[in-house]
Amino acid sequence: MKALLADPIFLSLILGIGLVFILLAFQYASPKNVTDRLAVGLSVAILVVIPYLTIKPFVWLHPSDFMLHNLSLNSALMKIVSYGVSVFVLKFWFRDFARSFLLLFANPFLGILLGLVGFSAFWSELPLLTLQASLALLVVSTLAAHIAQKYTWQQIATLLRWSTGIITGLSLFYSLAIPSVGVVGKGWRGILAHPNPLGALMGLNAVFWYVRAANNPKERVPSVLMVLVSMLIMQNTNSAGAKVTLVALFSALLILRFIKRLSFQWAYAIIVIFMAISIGTTILVTENLEYIVVDVLGKDMTLTGRVPLWTKVIGKVVRDSPILGFGFHGFWQDWRGEDNPAYEVASDGYGWVAHHAHNGFIDLFADLGMVGLFLFVASLMLNIGLAIKYMSQTREPEAIFYLIIFILLLIVNNTQSSLLGIHHIWFYYVLCSVRLGMDTLGHKSRRLERKEVW
């Protein structure tokens, strides 16, 4: 018995069974307000898990394993059973889940893009892998749409703030108390896989809590404390891109306060120009300024070889499959050796082996070609317009978070590949896209009556 209890898998199974019985008891014996609290807790849990935490049990729950070429049957069954039990126990939360799939087409360009992801199995060199990865992405995207239809944007902003706040607290604890987990050679990574995504997420968390502090005097002290903790963690990630992200997001706060008074045309033009400047500044700071990059931030002039990598990946795709790409999850397949479509560009003099392009837009181009890239850009441009419209129609301070998240997406994907996949950046984008369509295009939803979820 001691040996069994020492086994983490067995212990997790026992705890899971106990949790199932507890949740069932709550569901059938508790008043409605407790059931609503369980629903909110599940939503926060999903938002906490989706950035891919490296600590147990969160790492076991993340659905990214379904993107792997070597997914084992036991691992797949364990996850499927876990998800199935969750759906059964909390079935009240999953009502209308099928309708959430249709809401992905609230932004038609997004819906067509996801359709293209699935159909790309027809021209992928490994069609079964592409189909497997496509189904995983579609389910996760539908899950984001489901959260979007259940809550108002003000409530979703609260869920996002608390989920990133939980990650912040856990990352601080593991970085200080358990550095074997929370610290790598580059710097603090907390409970995420790498310091760079942690730094970017801390920038977003700082903005969330700053807005809370500015608009809720009674909660100013804990909110400011959360902002300071986020900045401390960001500093210790040693991520130059994260610092650029923080400056860009807080600059965006100032600009968004100004453009709310302008006409739609002027506001749209200013936002697009600001995003273009932010992208250019990110590339300039992290790639070309020798003094800032080399002497101050400690980087080399090409961000450890990313510029040559980008050039070669683009050249490869333009030469071989520019229109539709290599299929979703079909370009970077290093386990295939010389049969890897990216073989000739993966390790060509960078000093390291590339497993992705370190740029979300280039990876999207490699997977789905010019068609896929056009569909995403079109969906983003539509969302920017809807976000400006929504911001002009409401006085809620959370209205600016749509554009903040879009700016984060653009900046992060200049140096990271987190555009189309099972991670928090894509999840946030689908969440925003669906909720915007519901708030501005007339789609109806069931939403909680309370102004605050907590």
Token pair listed for 84: 């199935």
- pLDDT the model gives residue 450: 42
Which residues, listed in sequence order, are joined to residue 369 by a DSSP beta bridge?
A: none
Torsion angles phi and psi, residue 53, rounded to 5 = -80, 145
| Domain ranges within the chain, ordered by starting residue | 15-95, 99-150+239-454
Q: What is the pLDDT of residues 78-136, one digit of tens each?
A: 778 778 777 777 777 888 888 889 999 989 999 999 999 999 999 999 999 999 999 99
Is the sign of the CA dihedral 431, 437, 440, 445 positive or negative?
negative
Question: What is the average pLDDT across 135-159?
Answer: 94
Residue pair 66/403 in contact (Cβ under 8 Å)? The answer is: no
Lowest mean pLDDT across 195-204, 406-415, 441-450: 441-450
- pLDDT the model gives residue 291: 41
- pLDDT the model gives residue 34: 64
Q: What is the DSSP letter of 303?
A: T
Question: What is the average pLDDT across 394-420?
Answer: 90
CA 74, CA 96: separation in Å to the nearest integer? 30
Closest CA to 108 of 445, 436, 422, 444: 436
Q: Is the pLDDT of residue 31 over 90?
A: no
Residue pair 232/187 in contact (Cβ under 8 Å)? The answer is: no
Question: What is the average pLDDT across 400-414?
Answer: 93
Is the pTM higher than 0.85? The answer reads yes
Token pair listed for 377: 């850009």
Token pair listed for 320: 């071989």
CB atoms within 10 A of CB 395: 7
- pLDDT the model gives residue 23: 53
- pLDDT the model gives residue 6: 47
Name every residue whose Cβ is closer than 8 Å to that of residue 272 and which is 6 or more positions away in sequence.
Answer: 384
Question: What is the average pLDDT across 150-154?
Answer: 93
Lowest mean pLDDT across 78-92, 147-161, 286-300, 321-335: 286-300
- pLDDT the model gives residue 93: 82
Q: Decide: helix, strand or coil at residue 107.
A: coil
Residues recorded for the chain: 454
Question: What is the average pLDDT across 195-208?
Answer: 94
Name every residue whose Cβ is closer than 8 Å to that of residue 30 and which is 6 or more positions away in sequence.
Answer: none
CA 353, CA 314: separation in Å to the nearest integer? 17
CA 216, CA 257: separation in Å to the nearest integer? 17
CB atoms within 10 A of CB 92: 12
Q: Residue 313 is inside which H or E element, if any?
A: helix 306-320
Question: What is the average pLDDT across 432-436?
Answer: 94
pLDDT band at 448 (very low <50, low <70, confident <90, very high): very low
Between 218 and 15, where is the model more confident? 218
- pLDDT the model gives residue 289: 45
Question: What is the average pLDDT across 289-301?
Answer: 46
- pLDDT the model gives residue 352: 60
- pLDDT the model gives residue 80: 81
Helix/strand number for the chain, H first, E second: 20, 0
CA 168, CA 236: separation in Å to the nearest integer? 13
Token pair listed for 345: 């560009």
What is the gyration radius of the CA atoms in the chain, in angstroms? 22
- pLDDT the model gives residue 144: 95
Residue bearing tokens 């996850």: 79
Name every residue whose Cβ is closer than 8 Å to that of residue 283 and which is 6 or more positions away in sequence.
Answer: 414
- pLDDT the model gives residue 237: 92
> How many Cα atoms within 13 Å fall on the side-chain side of residue 295?
4
Amino acid in the structure at residue 434: V
Q: What is the pLDDT of residues 10-25, one digit of tens each?
A: 445 555 555 554 555 5
Q: What is the pLDDT of residues 337-387, one digit of tens each?
A: 888 898 888 776 555 677 888 899 999 999 999 999 999 999 999 999 999
- pLDDT the model gives residue 94: 84
pLDDT band at 256 (very low <50, low <70, confident <90, very high): confident
- pLDDT the model gives residue 129: 93
Question: What is the average pLDDT across 215-240?
Answer: 92
CA 376, CA 7: separation in Å to the nearest integer? 45
Q: Is the pLDDT of residue 7 over 70?
A: no
User: What is the C-alpha end-to-end distance of the chain, expressed in Å?
Assistant: 41
Lowest mean pLDDT across 141-145, 215-219, 282-286, 350-354: 350-354
Q: What is the pLDDT of residues 178-194, one digit of tens each?
A: 999 999 988 999 999 99
CB atoms within 10 A of CB 406: 21
pLDDT band at 240 (very low <50, low <70, confident <90, very high): confident
Percent of the chain clearing pLDDT 90 (strictly above): 48
pLDDT band at 258 (very low <50, low <70, confident <90, very high): confident
